[in-house]
């Protein structure tokens, strides 16, 4: 198995607004998809890393999460313990389950993270 790691940072209105299906449903656009598995059909430029192990994919998730945690609402950053958040992510990836996380950020921004299991 391989793990494709995706990141999108953009306007909340694109990710959650009334035009979400139109904007994100277009698989040629560099926006988070409506369906998790459709990350694989988005432009390859959206792939931030290709990890060989679930541990490497979770390490990437931790790094990106930490870079943006200060811009998240306190409850989003701390509402789930770090051990639970990333422990569950590791368990999911080891079982072949894709991950898709989304976080509204200050300033009307939105962070979408995904790890898609390939192969």
Provide the edge-to-edge strand list for the sheet that holds 2-11. 47-51, 2-11, 109-118, 99-105
Give dist(CA 60, CA 75) in Å, integer: 22
Note whether 21 and 97 are within 8 A (CB): no
Average pLDDT, the chain: 93
pLDDT per residue as tens digits for the range 34-47: 999 999 999 999 99
Number of domains in the chain: 1
pLDDT per residue as tens digits for the range 48-89: 999 999 999 999 999 999 999 999 987 777 789 999 999 999
pLDDT per residue as tens digits for the range 78-99: 789 999 999 999 999 999 999 9
Residue 17: per-residue pLDDT: 81
């Amino acid at each position: 198995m391989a793990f494709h790691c995706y990141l999108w940072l953009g306007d909340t209105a694109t990710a959650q607004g009334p035009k979400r299906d139109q904007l994100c449903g277009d698989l040629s656009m560099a926006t988070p998809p409506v369906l998790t598995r459709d990350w694989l059909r988005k432009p390859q430029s959206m792939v931030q890393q290709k990890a060989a192990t679930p541990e490497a994919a979770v390490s990437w998730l931790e790094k990106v999460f930490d870079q943006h945690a200060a811009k998240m609402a306190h409850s989003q950053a701390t509402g789930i313990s770090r051990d639970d958040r990333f422990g569950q992510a590791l368990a999911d990836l080891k079982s072949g389950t894709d991950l898709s996380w989304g976080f509204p950020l200050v300033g009307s921004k939105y962070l979408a993270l995904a790890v898609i299991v390939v192969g």
